[in-house]
Amino acid sequence: RWRQSLALRQSVFFGIEAEVRALNEQQVDCQYLDVGGIDFHVSGAALTSQGQHMLSVLASDQFAAERDSRGYKFIDRDPEWFSLVLAYLREGRSDMPRSESERHAIYREARYFGLDALCDAAKERECILMVGKGMMQLYNPAADAWHAIKLGTLAPKAAAVVNGQLMVANADGLKLEVLNLGSGR
C-alpha cells in the first residue's frame, strides 16, 4: 500500500516539475518594455500570441529597437492602458471598462498597436433585453438608458443583436422581425 502511495506522490511530483520547467522556459524570453515611464516585463510568447502587430514585431527583433542602459525598449504610449493590452495578449480576451471614454482610450491603444480583435472588443456594447406582453425594453449601460419597443403580435422566443439590429424570432421560429436599435422600428 505504501508503494502505491509513493508511486502516486512521485507521479504528482513529476507532473508539477514538468509544469514548472515549461513555465521557466517561457520566461527565458522576457521582454523588458518602458511604456510611458512605467516598466513592464512580458514574455515574448505573449507578445507574439495574437498574430502580426506592432508588439509582435518588436518582440521578434526583426527591426532594431533602441534599448536604454537597463535593456528596456521604450514605447511612447500611455501606460494606464498598456496592462489591459498585455492582458489581451496573454489571455486572448480582456475585461473592458464600462466607461465610454475608457473604452475609447483602449480602442486608440489597440489601433496604435494593430490589434484588430481588441479594437472590436473595445467597440462592443452591452445590452440587456427584457420582454413582456407585446413590449420589449432594451437597456444600454453605456448610455444608462432604457428604450421601449412595441412588438405587436410577435411573441419572441429568441433574440440576437446582429450588426446593430435586433432580430427577434416568434414561437414557431417562422417569423423573423428585424428592429433597428437606433430608431426603435
Question: pLDDT for 150-179, tens place per residue?
Answer: 766 555 566 666 655 666 665 554 455 555
Question: pLDDT for 96-124, tens place per residue?
Answer: 887 889 999 999 999 999 999 999 888 87
Q: Average pLDDT for residues 143-155, to the nearest whole number?
A: 66
Of the options 3.40.710.10, 1.10.1200.10, 3.40.50.970, 3.30.710.10, the CATH number for the domain spanning 2-123:
3.30.710.10
Question: pLDDT for 21-64, tens place per residue?
Answer: 988 877 778 899 999 999 999 988 899 988 999 999 988 877 78
- CA dist 55 and 92 (Å) reads 15
Q: Give residue limits of the domains in the chain.
A: 2-123, 128-180
Which 8-state DSSP code applies to residue 67?
B
Q: Is 42 left (phi over 0), alpha (psi -120 to 50) or beta?
A: beta
What pLDDT, on the 0 to 100 scale, is given for residue 93?
Answer: 83
- CA dist 115 and 85 (Å) reads 9
- Residue 149 in contact with residue 135, Cβ under 8 Å? yes
- C-alpha cell recorded at residue 167: 432580430
The answer to whether the pTM exceeds 0.85 is: no
- CA dist 18 and 127 (Å) reads 44
